[in-house]
Chain A
Amino acid sequence: MGKVASMRDAVAALVHDGDVVAIEGFTHLICFAAGHEIIRQRKRDLALARLTPDLIYDQMVAAGTARKLVFSWLGNPGVGGLHAIRRRVEDADPAPLELEEYSHFGMVGRYTAGASNLPFFPLRSYFETDLPKVNPLIRPVRSPFGDETVYAVPPLKPDVTVVHAQRADANGNTQMWGLLGCQKEAAFAAERVIVVVETLVDEAVIRADPNRTVIPGLIVDAVVVEPWGAHPSYVQGAYDRDNRFYRDWEAISRDAASTAAWLDEWVYGVGGRAEYMEKLGTERAAELRPSGSAPSGSVDYGLYE
């Protein structure tokens, strides 16, 4: 079966205490299943990188897996704040949390530099803002071809990147559609890559549509087949964001005790994603299916024999 592994085995083998971990996906394809497994395996001292820490990092921070966040937008999108993280940042409760803060473009640029083996990524941002004052890794750089000065950010090379996708084959050749965020950059920048998919497909399916391949199996260490692994975030064409949960989290996470109780019930209290979905119920899942179908047109690549 090539690189196919269970979530438990993949996380145990590829995520280590102290690692820089990136579970990417910009609102879309956020692999909560991997985050929950990391919590269950009680990984510690992780530096968690993501443009938008989102609920998954709020949960991982609440569970004590993280020493540091590397990010660019810290909120519950469309709902409010991330309260477990805010408790750590505002009140050092139960411990301080190190922050390394950029803008979205800065984070995308960091992964891009990491993926392309460059010492920095230059961008036209940060001028006259306070961000370089609080993050000394955002530095001005003079163009070698003229007088212009732009800002530079350093490469980000995660020890492990986790990417959720619609489908992959057993060798990790991965196809996704919808919002692509910066998963490609984060995967190529990483030392190790875990791909988690809704569906495992035959290699022929991948080869029939090579333009849709975002991550080649070449850089993938493990393929985990975990349907609904992105819930409560969404998977284009498969299920919608469970906004009810994003709203519920606002109340759950405001209090450390209710946050811990939620983790006990929904993370530590289940063996994995299948059990989590069983607990969520088929009715709730059915509500998240798209209201209809919107297939792409197909293209003809042609045969050249």
Chain B
Amino acid sequence: MSEPRRDVPAAGGSTPAATGAAPSGFTRSEMMIVAAARELAGQRVCFVGVGLPNIAVNLARLTVAPELELVYESGAFGAKPARLPLSIGDPTIVTGATAAVSMFELFSFYLQGGLVDVGFLGAAQIDRFGNINSTVIGDYEHPKTRLPGSGGACEIAINARQVFVIMRQSKRSFVDRIDFRTSPGNLGGAESAARTRREEGWLGSGPSVVVTDLGIYHFDEAGEMRLDSIHPGATLEQIRDTMGWQPKVADPLPTTPEPSAEELRLIREELDPDGAYTK
């Protein structure tokens, strides 16, 4: 795990022009992963989704949340992966884990039984209320792009006590209206969502944070995303240019603290030496 890193960023260098350059020393993706990991401080049991959540949660385990129990939908509870798992199924999440259980047990007893504090998901599209699409772009019957679909995301969004989302933001991903609702968030607003959750017996209280490559959003009393922190180097103009609605913005708006040397070392040397997640 000491391979040299291939994609060392440079200010104004290889970073796509659309999102601008991060300050020298780290990439936007690294900032996103670090910010997402920090949000997990104090959490106990986290259900790890496929993709970016995988690296963010593993970084959290090595930094702000050493007590975090990692739950993988593939059936590992209390995973202690010795390398970054290639996906949500990997032999390294079993060796040394607290338990390896069937998926029936995992979904029935652990998730539906109410033991998961945070469900950590990625998404292809999200709207202002945190409703998520990971199924199709375009019409379901004749999709423009067929995406993977729910996997466990649908039941995680409903049964995890709260939901964290990590995704890159763009006009295509932060949309006014999602093409398909795979995983429910705050539906049409906080009030109706709370009523629906109560009436339908959901365990979860829905999305609580969305971390992107440009900033950190929490959900306000209306159940709508509010920009609560902007990453170093990002501008409000960039934020507005990469989403399909006018975002609410905290006032004053703090800047996300930069990644520490140790956080960057962990990502580059231990978790993602090939740059699979941080390109």
The residue in chain A whose Cβ has the minimal distance to the Cβ of B112 is A124
Chain B residues within an 8 Å CB radius of A74: 146-149
When chains A and B are docked, how far (Å) is the Cα of A155 from the Cα of B147? 26
When chains A and B are docked, how far (Å) is the Cα of A182 from the Cα of B141? 29
The residue in chain A whose Cβ has the minimal distance to the Cβ of B111 is A105
Contact A236 B94 (CB under 8 A): yes
Chain A residues within an 8 Å CB radius of B86: 77-78, 241, 243, 246
Chain A residues within an 8 Å CB radius of B102: 180-182, 184-185
How many interface residues does chain B have, given as a range? Answer: 35 or more
How many interface residues does chain A have, given as a range? Answer: 35 or more
Chain B residues within an 8 Å CB radius of A81: 146, 148
The residue in chain B whose Cβ has the minimal distance to the Cβ of A115 is B104
The residue in chain B whose Cβ has the minimal distance to the Cβ of A28 is B89
Q: Which of A9-17, A33-41, A128-136, A267-275 lies on the face that meets chain B?
A: A128-136
B27 at the binding interface (Cβ < 8 Å) = no
When chains A and B are docked, how far (Å) is the Cα of A191 from the Cα of B31? 52
Chain B residues within an 8 Å CB radius of A125: 154-155, 158-159
When chains A and B are docked, how far (Å) is the Cα of A128 from the Cα of B201? 12
When chains A and B are docked, how far (Å) is the Cα of A235 from the Cα of B230? 44
Chain A residues within an 8 Å CB radius of B181: 128-130
Contact B74 A181 (CB under 8 A): yes
A108 at the binding interface (Cβ < 8 Å) = yes
When chains A and B are docked, how far (Å) is the Cα of A123 from the Cα of B150? 15
Chain B positions 60 through 104: 1 when the CB is less than 8 Å from some CB of chain A, otherwise 0: 000000000000011110000000001111110111100011111
When chains A and B are docked, how far (Å) is the Cα of A73 from the Cα of B51? 13
Nearest Cβ in chain B — how far from A278, in angstroms?
Answer: 25
A124 in contact with B159 given A78-B50, A104-B73 (CB within 8 Å) = yes
When chains A and B are docked, how far (Å) is the Cα of A74 from the Cα of B50? 12
Instruction: Identify which of B101, B145, B182 contacts A130 (C-beta below 8 A).
Output: B182
Contact A294 B88 (CB under 8 A): no
A72 in contact with B158 given A77-B87, A89-B143, A185-B104 (CB within 8 Å) = no
Chain B residues touching A, majority SS: loop
Contact A130 B89 (CB under 8 A): no
Nearest Cβ in chain B — how far from A282, in angstroms?
Answer: 21
A27 in contact with B150 given A112-B104, A129-B183 (CB within 8 Å) = no
Chain A residues within an 8 Å CB radius of B150: 72-73, 101-104, 129, 131
Instruction: Identify which of A123, A130, A182 contacts B155 (C-beta below 8 A).
Output: A123
When chains A and B are docked, how far (Å) is the Cα of A71 from the Cα of B149? 9
Instruction: Identify which of B50, B151, B276 contacts A103 (C-beta below 8 A).
Output: B151
Chain A positions 176 through 213: 1 when the CB is less than 8 Å from some CB of chain B, otherwise 0: 01111110110000000000000000000000000000
Chain A residues touching B, majority SS: loop
B278 at the binding interface (Cβ < 8 Å) = no
When chains A and B are docked, how far (Å) is the Cα of A149 from the Cα of B175? 31
Within 8 A of B (CB), among A46-105: 51-52, 71-75, 77-78, 81, 85-86, 89-90, 101-105
Chain A residues within an 8 Å CB radius of B107: 104-105, 108, 123
A28 in contact with B74 given A103-B155, A104-B155, A182-B103 (CB within 8 Å) = yes
Contact A103 B196 (CB under 8 A): no
Chain A residues within an 8 Å CB radius of B100: 177-180
When chains A and B are docked, how far (Å) is the Cα of A73 from the Cα of B133? 13
B264 at the binding interface (Cβ < 8 Å) = no
Within 8 A of A (CB), among B109-123: 111-112
Chain A positions 17 through 44: 1 when the CB is less than 8 Å from some CB of chain B, otherwise 0: 0000000001110000000000000000
A148 at the binding interface (Cβ < 8 Å) = yes
The residue in chain A whose Cβ has the minimal distance to the Cβ of B184 is A128
Contact A90 B144 (CB under 8 A): yes
Contact B153 A108 (CB under 8 A): no
The residue in chain B whose Cβ has the minimal distance to the Cβ of A80 is B148
Contact A101 B146 (CB under 8 A): no
B187 at the binding interface (Cβ < 8 Å) = yes
When chains A and B are docked, how far (Å) is the Cα of A240 from the Cα of B93? 12
A104 in contact with B152 given A27-B74, A127-B158, A129-B182 (CB within 8 Å) = yes
Nearest Cβ in chain B — how far from A283, in angstroms?
Answer: 20
B200 at the binding interface (Cβ < 8 Å) = yes
User: CB within 8 Å of A: which residues of B?
Assistant: 50-51, 73-76, 86-91, 93-96, 100-104, 107-108, 111-112, 135, 140-141, 143-155, 158-159, 180-184, 187, 196, 200-203, 276
**A-B pairs with beta carbons under 8 Å apart, 28 shown:** A26-B74, A26-B89, A27-B89, A28-B74, A28-B89, A72-B150, A73-B50, A73-B152, A74-B146, A86-B146, A105-B155, A108-B107, A112-B104, A124-B112, A124-B201, A128-B187, A129-B182, A129-B183, A129-B184, A130-B135, A149-B200, A179-B74, A182-B102, A234-B90, A234-B91, A246-B86, A290-B91, A294-B96
User: CB within 8 Å of B: which residues of A?
Assistant: 26-28, 51-52, 71-75, 77-78, 81, 85-86, 89-90, 101-105, 108, 112, 123-131, 134, 148-150, 177-182, 184-185, 234, 236-237, 240-241, 243, 246, 290, 294
For the A-B complex with A73-B151, A105-B155 known, give 4 more contacts whose Cβ atoms are closer than 8 Å. Answer: A26-B75, A78-B276, A124-B201, A181-B103
